[in-house]
Amino acid sequence: MLPFAWILLLAANVVAVDEYKPTWISLDARPLPPWYDEAKIGIFLHWGVFSVPSYVSEWFWWYWLGQGAPWDPLPALFMKVNYRPGFTYPEFAKDFTCEFFNPDEWAALFEKSGARYVVLTTKHHEGFTL
């Protein structure tokens, strides 16, 4: 076992690791993987707790608080009409059950669309993680 571990350690030292600085110039220097350049279309999914009220978009929480669209009172009005006073955004979480989620159906739809990659946004600005 020890010789095998030693070989792994030596192999790890041989692998070059590119380091990038937190600057645009450095980050832009990263090469894109070939599959990315060849993929003509990809899909980014935004799905989360905001799907429970099914109103506006993934920015629902922001709009509801009046921070994102002060000219648009509709999210706050929607909450006033449809939910009890004092209802909070985290209370939506218990109703986010994904009851009708069908990954095979989604995959077939993505494939039919011609998409070559799909990215599921797993955490949004409001802090809930899938």
pLDDT tens-place string over residues 64-98 = 877 666 667 788 889 999 999 999 999 999 999 99
Query: Taking a C-beta distance cutoff of 8 angstroms, is the pair 61, 89 a contact?
Result: yes
Q: What is the pLDDT along the chain (130 residues), one digit of tens a residue?
A: 444 444 444 444 444 557 889 999 998 998 988 988 889 899 999 899 999 998 888 888 888 877 666 667 788 889 999 999 999 999 999 999 999 999 999 999 999 999 999 999 998 888 888 8
> What is the distance of C-alpha 84 from the center of its chain?
29
Supply the pLDDT for residue 41. Answer: 92
Quickly count: other Cβ atoms within 10 Å of residue 122's Cβ.
Answer: 11
Supply the pLDDT for residue 114. Answer: 94
45 DSSP assignment: E
Query: Taking a C-beta distance cutoff of 8 angstroms, is the pair 59, 75 a contact?
Result: no
The SS3 of residue 46 is strand
